[in-house]
Structure 1
Amino acid sequence: MRNAVISRDEILEASRLMLQEKGWSAIHMRSVAVRCGVSVGSLYNYFPSKTELVAATVESVWQELFHVPEDLTGEERFCKVIQWLHDSIQEGNRRYQGFLTLHAMGFTTGEGKVEGRRMMERIQGQLRDALCQVLREDGQVNQSVFDSRLTPEGFVELVFSMLITALLRGEEDCEPLLAVVRRVLY
């Protein structure tokens, strides 16, 4: 065991690496402690349970993968961001086997399921908020398509749901979704 103090970030980095190498079944308090070179008790200082460790690992994967790039500018920026999001989720699902499916099915049981769902909703809410901001800032969008029945937030929710569904079905291309978005917005 190492004597140095370990950080929460180091634990999560080790968990992500284990996830990449061996999948979700590798994430256990004992195996992560071994990977970090610390006692299991040291992990409990940061994560009171395996459920919280897994939830934090999932959240750190989302944060690693999703940060809307500032350099996606120009024509049809909203569509570019949708394409980028599709590609990022697809890459994350390749890098972290079953990542997207795990979210769709719920990654824990019992009380952890509630916390996992809350965490997932918070991160997906941040993504939807970022999409809404991009939608509002895209100067090419025909703003007259929006009214009290179809708000920018409602449109983003619909697009986000369609994107996740397409990815869960294993669709490699999001061009049909982008074609619909273009017809509605531009």
Structure 2
Amino acid sequence: MASSVISHDELLEEAYCIADAQGLSALSVRSLARACHVSVGTIYNHFASKDKLTTATIELFFRRSVFDGFCRLDVHKGFVDYCEDLYASLVMVLDRFRRCWLKGAEVLPVAEKNAAHLREQQILAHALRGLVEVYENDAAIRTDLPVGFDAELVCRFTFDNMLNALHAGENNCPILFGLLRRTLYNA
């Protein structure tokens, strides 16, 4: 196979295209090498294992699909509005991920599933920190909230309930967002 110079980002972009078109189960070091016209060793120079390749590809999916649009603080958007927009985006993104990317995922090795789960937890922790930042910068939130209504606890409660609703397949969380709006803001 001809030797060629290819960057980490170019490999990751091609891995993304493979997973997006055929599902994660179609992504392998060999399939990526074939698609990029490089040797398998070239792939391993950039990704130490298939787990790392799979995890990086999933991370790119979520970064493009969700976090690029939500990792910027908009001081003109309130906490609950931000949460509603984030939830609506997550509903669409997770539907696409499940339909397209998880095709045949049951055949993925346990090590890859574990690596992806660990990265998912890190991404969720990052998202929670972002919610805390949005909460802390929302000047419209009442200052006379009861003890225990600090940013970290309110955001953890909100995020946990959003994740539970996503897991249950709910398209929205009107009760959660309505309660938050009535509790956090002056009417």
Please give the root-mean-square deviation of Cα atoms over the aligned residues, in Å. 2.8
Matched, 1:176 2:175: yes
Unaligned runs of 5+ in 1: none
Q: Which amino acid aligns with 1:120?
A: E
2:110 match: secondary structure? coil
For the residues of structure 2 that align with 1:177 and 1:2, how far apart are their CA atoms?
57
CA shift at 1:122, angstroms? 2.1
Spell out, residue by residue over 1:120-177, the C-alpha distance to the aligned partner (whole angstroms, 9 max, x if none): 2222121111111110111111133253x34311211111111112112221123222
Assess, with a 3 A threshold, how the Cα gap between structure 1 residues 111 and 70 changes in structure 2: closer, same or farther.
Answer: closer
For the residues of structure 2 that align with 1:86 and 1:160, how far apart are their CA atoms?
10
TM-score relative to the length of structure 1: 0.81
Question: Which protein has the larger Cα radius of gyration, Structure 1 or Structure 2?
Answer: 2
Could you say which residue in structure 2 is the equivalent of 1:121?
121
What is the number of equivalent residue pairs in this alignment? 180
Could you say which residue in structure 2 is the equivalent of 1:159?
158
Unaligned runs of 5+ in 2: none
For the residues of structure 2 that align with 1:109 and 1:88, how far apart are their CA atoms?
29
Q: Which has the higher contact order (CA 8 A, sep 6+)?
A: 2
CA shift at 1:80, angstroms? 1.8
TM-score relative to the length of structure 2: 0.81
CA shift at 1:51, angstroms? 1.0
Spell out, residue by residue over 1:56-108, the C-alpha distance to the aligned partner (whole angstroms, 9 max, x if none): 1122222222132658554x611121122112222322433358989xx9x86
Could you say which residue in structure 1 is the equivalent of 2:98?
97
For the residues of structure 1 that align with 2:33 and 2:15, how far apart are their CA atoms?
10
Assess, with a 3 A threshold, how the Cα gap between structure 1 residues 101 and 155 changes in structure 2: closer, same or farther.
Answer: farther
Stretch moving more, 84-93 or 20-29: 84-93
Assess, with a 3 A threshold, how the Cα gap between structure 1 residues 108 and 125 changes in structure 2: closer, same or farther.
Answer: farther
2:83 match: secondary structure? helix
Spell out, residue by residue over 1:25-69, the C-alpha distance to the aligned partner (whole angstroms, 9 max, x if none): 112111122222222111101112111111111222222221326
For the 8 Å contact 2:15–2:57, the answer to whether it is kept is yes
For the residues of structure 2 that align with 1:45 and 1:165, how far apart are their CA atoms?
39
